[in-house]
Amino acid sequence: MQAHAAQRATQAAMSSAASLGLAAYDAVVLHNSNKLTLRLKPCDVLARVAPAAHQSAQREVEIAQRLFGVGSPVAALQAPEVFIRDDYVVTLWTYYEPVTTQAIPPADYARALERLHAGMREVDLPTPHFTDRVSEAEALVADRDRTPKLADADRVFLAGTLDRLRRAVSDRGRPEQVLHGEPHPGNLLSPQLGLLFIDFETCCRGPIEFDLAHAPNEVEDHYPGVDHHLLRDCRTLMLAMITTWRWDRDDQLPDGHRLGIEWLSELRKAAAR
């Protein structure tokens, strides 16, 4: 978020916390992109703030509550409400102090993801299919107004890559279930009580390899029953999708344009092999 929007979003978070009687006189920015993540003090609550146009917050809260209820490794909500303040949506979560900033051991990562998938099979909430997310990326590539800096040759290449890999993953015929959607290291906390997943706005249905594609490569060696050929296709599909997001004119990921160029180059190298 730009500075003015971030300031308004911070006030929305502090106001939401205050409405619950929580003392929130200061806020530390933990992450700022299309959404803002804050540590509110002195109540020590984590707030996630997004423009009100993002209406997936209620679904995220419901999924997190259900998963927490069956003992899945997920961060706990501070409050079950979704707050609307000054055109922003605010959700409040438990803040967990990280134990270490070192990389999570692949075996631990795999066990946590396996436990999350087991819990998701229990709750089995209605979610979009992973191909719906691919279709969103395809629509973005096709929309020149939303991706004005994407060169014609790159546009054709990205569109073809997304279509080819969507069909390759779908046609593999693997069992499907509810997935996190983006269980990358940035969505995995490492507090004292054990690994916990966050950010369930991207939940979708598909093969477990689609989730594993977001984890470090070493994790697949510790997750049982992986189709490694399918996982390779899922990794390339995932890279094509996140590359597409970086060309969105409204994307606010820091250094996003550079990443978009870099990842396009990686995709072309992969296609040439």
As a whole-number percent, the residues of the chain with pLDDT over 90 amount to 79
Q: Give the domain range for residue 8.
A: 3-94
Judge if 248 and 114 occupy the same domain: yes
- Asked if residues 44 and 35 have their Cβ atoms less than 8 Å apart, the reply is no
Question: Would residue 99 count as lying in a domain?
Answer: no
Distance, in Å, from the CA atom of 37 to the CA atom of 35, rounded to the nearest integer, reads 7
Give per-residue pLDDT as tens, 13-47: 999 999 999 999 999 999 888 889 999 999 999 99
The three-state secondary structure class of 111 is helix
Give per-residue pLDDT as tens, 38-85: 999 999 999 999 888 766 888 899 999 999 999 999 999 999 999 998
Judge if 156 and 254 occupy the same domain: yes
Report field, pTM of the whole predicted structure over 0.75 = yes
The total domain count for the chain is: 2
Partners of 36 in beta bridges: 32, 49
Judge if 87 and 110 occupy the same domain: no
pLDDT higher than 80, residue 101: no
Structure tokens at 2: 């730009």
Task: Kindly report the CATH number assigned to the domain that includes residue 156.
Answer: 3.90.1200.10
Task: Kindly report the CATH number assigned to the domain that includes residue 45.
Answer: 3.30.200.20
Question: Would residue 170 count as lying in a domain?
Answer: yes
Which pLDDT score is estimated for 3? 86
Phi/psi at 46 (5° precision): -95, 130
Judge if 135 and 36 occupy the same domain: no
Q: If you search the block for the tokens 């820091």, which residue do you land on?
A: 254
pLDDT higher than 90, residue 168: yes
Question: Would residue 101 count as lying in a domain?
Answer: no
Structure tokens at 230: 């399918």
Distance, in Å, from the CA atom of 99 to the CA atom of 79, rounded to the nearest integer, reads 24
Q: If you search the block for the tokens 């697949």, which residue do you land on?
A: 220
* pLDDT band (50, 70, 90) for residue 98: confident
